[in-house]
Structure 1
Amino acid sequence: MSLLGKKFSGPVARPMMPFYAAGLVILYGVNSFANALAATDEYKNDPRNPALKNEAPKH
């Protein structure tokens, strides 16, 4: 007796491919939009901007 229940042999990855591709497109779009917003003049010098963490602090 298996703890996971009965095993069914059915395709999983192939029918889900459009959803995986759409998820990647959405993630790419959200990432590029967030990077574009972080580069605007309003948030360019904000200390919460993750792009500024790589630079040395200016005194």
Structure 2
Amino acid sequence: MSFLGKKFPAPVARPMWPFYISGLVILYGVNSAANAMATADEYKNDPRNPLVKNQGPNAAH
């Protein structure tokens, strides 16, 4: 007796390929938007911005 019950030969990856592709497109878009916002003039001097280098003796917390 198997632990998970009877195996059914159902395809998983083939019918799901549009969702995999759309997920990659969404992740690429979110990454591009986040990078664009991190380099914008409004946030380029924000201390929470990971692109800002440590400047001065009081920069490290």
Q: State the TM-score, normalized to the length of structure 1.
A: 0.86
Number of equivalences: 56
Q: State the TM-score, normalized to the length of structure 2.
A: 0.83
C-alpha RMSD of matched pairs (Å): 1.0
* Structure with greater proportional helix content: 1
Paired residue secondary structure (2:6):
coil
In structure 2, the residue matched to 1:26 is 26
Identical-pair percentage: 71
Could you give the per-residue CA deviations for residues 7-40 of structure 1, whole angstroms, max 9, x where no partner exists? Answer: 0011110110000000000000011001111111
**For structure 2, which runs of at least 5 residues remain unmatched after alignment?**
57-61
